[in-house]
Structure 1
Amino acid sequence: MNKTIDIQDLGHKDYKETWDYQEELFKSIIAAKVKNKREEVHVETSNYFLLVEHSHVYTLGKSGDFSNLLLNEEQLSKKGAFFYKINRGGDITYHGPGQIVGYPILDLENFFTDIHKYLRLLEEMVILTLAEYGIEGQRSAGETGVWLGVGTPFARKICAMGVRASRWVTMHGFAFNVNTDLGYFDNIVPCGIRGKAVTSLNVELGVEKVDEAQIKTKLLKHFMALFEAVPSQETKQSQFA
């Protein structure tokens, strides 16, 4: 089993370009697995973790309700935002500046074959990162992601999640609000959940801006520990060395 992960910080990148890149990596892993099975050989499959920040964009999961987007095409254009119907689970969400988006593209057969465990570990990565800032991140029954104030009238989501998996290979991932303009969430019913708010780490800490590079370092530290993984040789030669 290959437990090395190639970590790539893509910086600020267009959503569609990043989606296409995810698909390319995703399909390359699946092709290797199919070849291994067909030819009864074993070539180690790769694992990737992409970090990125997008321009304003709304994405709707494959089973999502289009009515949860509260803007028409003209209004989207005026806000400088794009919209995509995509192939992950979950409903509608927003991506934009000040939000750390992570796309783990893993062959889970290198780690474990349990999608629920995978989602819980992604949540745990964010919960452990929040704890380093003195904030108690929580899970909410039946609602994937990381929340604050669960069970109170002030319940609010700080990290959304939506994934796709095929042949135990994952794509898409999580969106962690760090310095996010929360006004953009007013244009949707976030994750299709009515009556619950969305928040950002800078709001919770009462500061203008949180160091996003520091957040990435903490997320990666917890991710690698939870998945018992090590950085790939390519990663060791990058800024994450």
Structure 2
Amino acid sequence: MNKTIEVTDLGYKDYKETWDYQESLFKGIVDIKIKNRRDGTEIVTPNYFLFVEHPHVYTLGKSGDVENLLVNEQQLKEKDATYYKINRGGDITYHGPGQIVGYPILDLDNFFTDIHKYLRFLEEVIILTLAEFGLKGERSPGETGVWLDVGTPFARKICAMGIRASRWVT
């Protein structure tokens, strides 16, 4: 099992270009796993964590509703924003300048095969990272992601999460 994670800062990059790169890494891991099962080989699968900053973009996950996109096509153009329907979980998410986005592309067979545990682990990483910056991130009961000021009228999400997994590859 390979528990090493290759971390890459992609800088400021277009969403579609980043998505295509993620898909190629994802496919590479899945292809290795298929080959290992088919041929009885034990090729080690890699793990990646990409960091990137995107221009204005809205993404709609599989469980999302386009009605939740509160701007029309003309407004997207005026904001120089793009929109993509993608195959991750979750609803609509905005990414834009000044926001650092993390994309873990992991073979969970290298760690543990429990999606709920994986989500809680990601939340905990964010909570610990926020604490390093003097912010108190928390989980909100019944919701995925990390929140500030939970239980107050000022509660707001600071970290949204939407994942996709196939053959235990995220």
TM tier, shorter chain? over 0.9
Identity of aligned residues (%): 76
Instruction: Give the corresponding residue for 1:84.
Output: 84
Instruction: Give the corresponding residue for 2:16.
Output: 16
> How many Å separate the matches in 2 of 1:135 and 1:49?
23
Q: Deviations over 1:164-216 (max 9, x none)?
A: 0000000xxxxxxxxxxxxxxxxxxxxxxxxxxxxxxxxxxxxxxxxxxxxxx
SS in 2 for 1:4: coil
> How many Å separate the matches in 2 of 1:132 and 1:9?
20
SS in 2 for 1:144: coil
SS in 1 for 2:5: strand
Q: Say whether residues 1:25 and 2:28 are aligned partners.
A: no
Unmatched segments (≥5 aa) in structure 2: none
Unmatched segments (≥5 aa) in structure 1: 171-241
Instruction: Give the corresponding residue for 2:2.
Output: 2
SS in 2 for 1:166: coil
Could you state the TM-score of these two structures normalised by the residue count of structure 1? 0.69
Instruction: Give the corresponding residue for 2:153.
Output: 153
Structure having the larger proportion of residues in strand: 1
> How many Å separate the matches in 1 of 2:7 and 2:150?
32
After the TM superposition, which residues 3-152 of structure 1 pair with which residues of structure 2 at under 5 Å, given as runs? 3-152=3-152
Matched pairs, number: 170
> How many Å separate the matches in 2 of 1:41 and 1:133?
45
**Alpha-carbon shift at residue 91 of structure 1 (Å):** 0.1
SS in 1 for 2:117: helix
Structure 1 segments of 4+ aligned residues over 4 angstroms from their partners:
none
> How many Å separate the matches in 1 of 2:75 and 2:135?
36
> How many Å separate the matches in 2 of 1:81 and 1:50?
22
Could you state the TM-score of these two structures normalised by the residue count of structure 2? 0.98
SS in 2 for 1:143: coil
